[in-house]
Amino acid sequence: MAFQGFIKGVRYIPVPTPVFGELLEEIKDINELKIVLRVIRLIHDKKGLERCVTLDELLADRVLATSLNSSNTDLRRTQILQALQTSQDRNVFIKVDGKNTSPSLYYLNTEFERQTVRNVSISEPQSEFEPWEPVGERSNIYSLYEQNIGILTPIVAEKIGEAEQRYPLEWIEEAISEAVSLNSRNWRYISRILERWEIEGKADGESRKHTGKARYI
């Protein structure tokens, strides 16, 4: 489904200004540009001080799998590694090699991260991520979720798929919009809205019996 525009309350993330200036002039490979922008988005959604990504995370990312137009995991791995290496050479990312079975970590090359990586210690393997396998055209719900709620992991995508089988698409879209308006940006809250509508009935996008944010908790 074609992009339908930005809804009210859409999320914004900060992107370093050089990305839209000198780096935009330097980057000739569209795949590299896509990967740079996606890594910035993924890093922005990280919590804590050590904000970075791994190759496995990128391979498990739905947006990259779709935008790189590659259903072959090995080819996608090669594309991502090449882009990461080129971006590292451009000083966009900092790579910290893992120890033993731990994966390499990729940080955005900012002053704060440069100080962080001096003290980073990798002793345990990171969580494993399964490569994302594109399965044809998906509904706009998946993009709507990622634009307004957060990163679409395979687990969340599976839950959205289950919801599509159970509820009208319009309900899911409205539930996402309501969650955004109440600043409760997570699938669990959206699911609560849908369950409440299913049990109590739905009129004009709201539950008939309750009002206020607390009704979905």
Residue 206 is classified by DSSP as E
| CA angle, residues 163, 168, 139, in degrees to nearest 5 | 70
Token output for 156:
């969340």
> What structural domains does the chain harbor?
17-117 (1.10.10.10), 140-216 (1.10.10)
CB 107 within 8 A of CB 52: yes
Instruction: Give Cβ neighbours of residue 9 (< 8 Å, ≥ 6 apart).
Output: 148, 177, 180, 181
Q: What tens digit of pLDDT does each residue of 29-63 get?
A: 999 999 999 999 999 888 776 789 999 989 988 88
How buried is residue 131: exposed, middle or buried, by Cβ count under 10 Å (0-12/13-18/19+)? middle
Q: Measured between alpha carbons, how far is 207 from 54 in angstroms, rounded to an integer?
A: 42
Q: What tens digit of pLDDT does each residue of 95-154 get?
A: 988 776 678 889 999 998 888 887 766 544 455 566 655 555 556 788 888 888 887 777
Mean pLDDT value across the chain: 81
Confidence at residue 6, expressed as pLDDT on a 0 to 100 scale: 79
